[in-house]
Amino acid sequence: MPRTGYSLAALAALAATLAASCVRSPLPSPPGSVTHATPYVAQFDSVWTRFDSVYPSFAYKRVDWRAQRARYRPRAAGARSQDELVAVLLEMLSPLRDRHVWLVDPRGQVVPSYKPGTVLNFDPARWSAALHGAALVTRSAGVHEAMLGGYGYLFLGTWKAPVDGELLDAMLLRLRDTQGLIIDLRTNAGGSDAAALTFASRFTRKPFTASYVEIRTDPRVTGVEMPLARTIAPRGPFQYTRPVVLITGRGGLSATETFVAAMRTLPQVTVIGDTTGGASGNPATFSLGNGWQFTVPRWLEFGPDRQPIEGRGVAPHLAIAWTPARYVRERDPLIDAAVGLLGERTGVYRMAPAITSDAPPRTPEPGASPPHRQR
């Protein structure tokens, strides 16, 4: 049975309404647990109850949330400081293995509940060398455009403001007549998925389902079939249907994964590099107390193939191992591969990767970082 398409605005409104209103009363204290009220128990209960009402992935993550409450609530009651409570909360939340679950301290510093060990397929020094002489133009922090081997090149390091449909449209317009396009998303940790899907709508000539999302509901919500289909339609004065290569990696998260999952279904698009990071929860932020805040993901997202993105990521069509030691220092192997692939598709240009088998491993420059990286 086909799913009903929902607009991004309607979906966002539904998610916000559910997150704000569908909060159940706390459970009674487990037998034998501490029952006297303390400020830290109240804070603990607010976190547990909000997750119990909103978080969509307990079954998917195989986490017994009630068992977590029984185990950690007595420890919260025994906490002697805010820091001790925070440590208890982080321990309770860590089995979710969710990169969109974190606390924020009174200074605004993010305290993650889960830190995966990932290897980024990106070297800022190699990237800079590869773009030397490529007419690189910076449009915003972490957002650049260039010409490589006769093809357009967009480095999108974020989907956060000021990156929006207007800026992305302007960049695409300048590259409209190129024979092929490379979109580099290796360090893009997310932002507005509305901006990402708005941009994806410039690459299709017919509407299609970009992703599906599952949101927790309660009996008061009726007439909503899960998962919800998110559809996009052609937009703008033209659609770019020439060959496109997306470069992806573990540093691509959240809205980037929504974009990649949608784009990889289009016939002119090839995704190369590594699987994305697997974090797609659309979190909302709530007050904890004493200046602290916490986040709760509000949906579980699936690609157009109905495979979950959370914890799995979006795989490339062509996986390319990150082995930069085999390349001379002035080369970025994934950029070379993207240009070479476009050359094969269009017959316009072919750049052979500059491999040197005896090149010694290169030590990254101290303090080196991508042009823009965010959490």
What rounded mean pLDDT belongs to the chain? 86
**Per-residue confidence band for 219, with pLDDT thresholds at 50, 70 and 90:** low
CA distance 299 to 18: 11
**Per-residue confidence band for 226, with pLDDT thresholds at 50, 70 and 90:** confident
Residue in this structure with the two tokens 């301290």, named with its chain if needed:
105
Contact of 172 with 240, CB cutoff 8 Å: yes
CA distance 230 to 300: 13
CATH, range 124-280+302-346: 3.90.226.10
Quick one: pLDDT at residue 3?
Answer: 36
Quick one: pLDDT at residue 283?
Answer: 95
**Per-residue confidence band for 39, with pLDDT thresholds at 50, 70 and 90:** confident
CA distance 282 to 148: 34
pLDDT tens column, 269-296 = 999 999 999 999 999 999 999 999 999 9
Helix axes 39-54, 82-93, angle to 10 degrees: 20
**Per-residue confidence band for 50, with pLDDT thresholds at 50, 70 and 90:** very high
**Per-residue confidence band for 224, with pLDDT thresholds at 50, 70 and 90:** confident
Contact of 296 with 283, CB cutoff 8 Å: yes
Contact of 317 with 264, CB cutoff 8 Å: yes
CA distance 158 to 247: 14
Report domain extents, the chain: 5-112, 124-280+302-346
**Per-residue confidence band for 53, with pLDDT thresholds at 50, 70 and 90:** very high
**Per-residue confidence band for 19, with pLDDT thresholds at 50, 70 and 90:** very low
Quick one: pLDDT at residue 365?
Answer: 36
Average pLDDT over every residue of 330-347? 92
Q: Which residues of 111-136 are buried (b: 16+ CB within 10 A; e: fewer)?
A: ebbbeeeeebbbbbebbeebbeeeeb
Residues in the chain: 375
